[in-house]
């Protein structure tokens, strides 16, 4: 799986840098081509000569750079993957902010490949809000983190702040490549966000959906190698992954028109949008002035995008929907599953604290059309998206 992969191993100044030498050797053993970039601080813990000997390549560093010009852009473009191990709190902060004060950061900023980082620091630094904030920022860039204490989780010991063991990092990278092929060649359409239904030029009927769940699903599908079309209602979020094509729409009708075009060529379709069920019958051409004490707007039903497209779903297509319910959750979700011809439906109940709109977390139950029902714990939406994509991958028609 790793044979022939071109890897930049970036080493920063932590005591865990000694493990990078072993990591380098493991990667070479697995058939990778490794080029090492080190900070000056890292060289207090492991020498450039060691890393150069193990990688059988020149080591890139600021010291070396003082003697000869090294093109960090070429190095960034050469790589299939950049592994930053150990990643210190300082380097993590610089990555979050895009600072460029050494060869390692210059390489990082010019790299076009996926980035995996393995933090290493003491516990207090790790739990500091600033570090945690920076970590969230890096995850939002689509980078992967090998959690601190990763190697300790299995052993039952506590390992807060400790870098994962080299063998575990290699395993993580292998899993990364295995999973990154799981949706290769598949086309995935995802609807996300709220819809805004215009009342007049300055007002609309909308809902509190942030779009987060749909955007996370798009990211996870893209990371698994899928070709994603994300049709999003108004959302502050954006996408960075090159496998995601973002189509922005405003209203339910626009969302339907976009989905109608993309649907037939999609292998998997996920309806994660919170579509407004009704829209004003008439949109006032000018701002409505305040006059009467009571004012009412006549509403007409919007098209049900999932139900309409579900009618022409083909044998080889898989359709996933969402249901956000406040009462009789399971039976309402099952009704929607069948009415809209879905393969499975993801239920989130507004009665669960931390689930649904306006939260970074979600708690779901998946109900499929074969009668299976699986409940998951409260997780961040990225991990929830991972569970949903795993369900898609395991789902046999």
The two tokens of residue 369 are: 């059309």
Query: CB neighbours (10 Å) of residue 67?
Result: 7
Q: What is the DSSP string of 268-332?
A: EEEE--B--SEEESS--SSPPPP-SS-----EEEPP-HHHHHHTT--TT-EEEEEEEESSSHHHH
The two tokens of residue 322 are: 């969402």
Q: Does 230 bind ligand CTP (CB under 6 A)?
A: no
Q: In whole angstroms, how far apart are CA 163 and each of 18, 20, 49?
A: 11, 10, 23
**To which H or E segment does residue 10 belong?**
strand 6-11
Annotated catalytic residue 316: no
Query: CB neighbours (10 Å) of residue 205?
Result: 18
Q: In 3D, which of 228, 225, 224 has the Cα closest to residue 270?
A: 228
Q: Does 215 bind ligand CTP (CB under 6 A)?
A: no
Q: Does 305 bind ligand CTP (CB under 6 A)?
A: yes
Whichever of 43 and 251 has its CB closer to ligand CTP, that residue is 251
Residue pair 41/188 in contact (Cβ under 8 Å)? The answer is: no
Q: Which of 92, 104, 221, 273 binds ligand CTP (CB under 6 A)?
A: 273
Q: Does 364 bind ligand CTP (CB under 6 A)?
A: no
Site string for ligand CTP, 166-205 (x = CB under 6 A): -------------------------x--------------
Residue pair 273/191 in contact (Cβ under 8 Å)? The answer is: yes
Site string for ligand CTP, 320-349 (x = CB under 6 A): -xxxx-----------x---x---------
Whichever of 340 and 379 has its CB closer to ligand CTP, that residue is 340
Whichever of 8 and 259 has its CB closer to ligand CTP, that residue is 259
Q: Write down the least CB distance from residue 378 to ligand CTP, Å.
A: 20
Q: Which of 24, 138, 222, 306 binds ligand CTP (CB under 6 A)?
A: 306
Whichever of 109 and 307 has its CB closer to ligand CTP, that residue is 307
Whichever of 12 and 191 has its CB closer to ligand CTP, that residue is 191
User: Backbone phi, then psi, for 373, in 5-degree steps?
Assistant: -135, 120
Active-site positions read 207
Catalog residues that contact ligand CTP under the rule CB under 6 A: 191, 252, 271, 273, 275, 277, 302, 304-306, 321-324, 336, 340
């Amino acid at each position: 799986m790793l044979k022939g992969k071109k890897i930049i191993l970036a080493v920063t100044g932590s005591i865990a840098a000694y493990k990078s030498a072993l990591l380098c050797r493991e990667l070479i053993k697995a058939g990778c081509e490794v080029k090492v970039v080190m900070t000056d601080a890292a060289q207090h813990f492991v020498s450039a000569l060691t890393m150069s000997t193990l990688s059988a390549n020149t080591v890139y560093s600021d010291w070396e750079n003082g003697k000869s010009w090294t093109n960090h852009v070429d190095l960034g473009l050469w790589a299939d993957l950049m592994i930053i191990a150990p990643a210190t709190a300082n380097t993590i902060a610089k990555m979050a902010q895009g600072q460029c004060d050494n060869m390692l950061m210059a390489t990082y900023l010019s790299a076009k490949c996926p980035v995996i980082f393995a933090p290493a620091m003491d516990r207090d630094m790790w739990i500091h809000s600033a570090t945690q904030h920076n970590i969230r920022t890096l995850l939002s860039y689509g980078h992967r983190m090998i959690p601190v204490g990763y190697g300790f989780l299995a052993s039952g010991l506590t390992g807060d702040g400790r870098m994962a063991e080299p063998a575990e990092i290699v395993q993580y990278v292998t899993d990364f490549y295995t999973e990154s092929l799981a949706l290769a060649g598949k086309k995935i359409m995802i609807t996300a966000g709220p819809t805004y239904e215009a009342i007049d030029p300055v007002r609309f009927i909308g809902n509190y959906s942030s779009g987060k769940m749909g955007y996370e699903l798009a990211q996870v599908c893209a990371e698994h190698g899928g070709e994603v079309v994300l049709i999003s209602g108004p959302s502050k979020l954006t996408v960075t992954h090159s496998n995601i094509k973002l189509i922005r729409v405003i209203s339910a009708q626009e969302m339907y028109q976009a989905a109608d075009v993309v649907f037939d060529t999609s292998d998997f379709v996920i309806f994660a949008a919170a579509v407004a069920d009704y829209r004003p019958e008439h949109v006032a051409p000018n701002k409505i002035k305040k006059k009467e004490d009571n004012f009412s707007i006549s509403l007409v039903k919007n098209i049900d995008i999932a139900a309409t497209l579900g009618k022409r779903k083909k044998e080889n297509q898989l359709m996933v929907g969402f249901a956000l319910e406040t009462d009789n959750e399971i039976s309402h979700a099952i009704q929607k599953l069948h009415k809209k011809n879905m393969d499975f439906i993801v239920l989130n109940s507004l009665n669960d604290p931390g689930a649904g709109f306006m939260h970074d977390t979600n708690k779901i139950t998946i109900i499929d059309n074969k009668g299976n029902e699986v409940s998951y714990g409260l997780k961040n939406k990225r991990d929830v998206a991972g569970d949903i994509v795993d369900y898609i991958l395991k789902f046999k028609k």
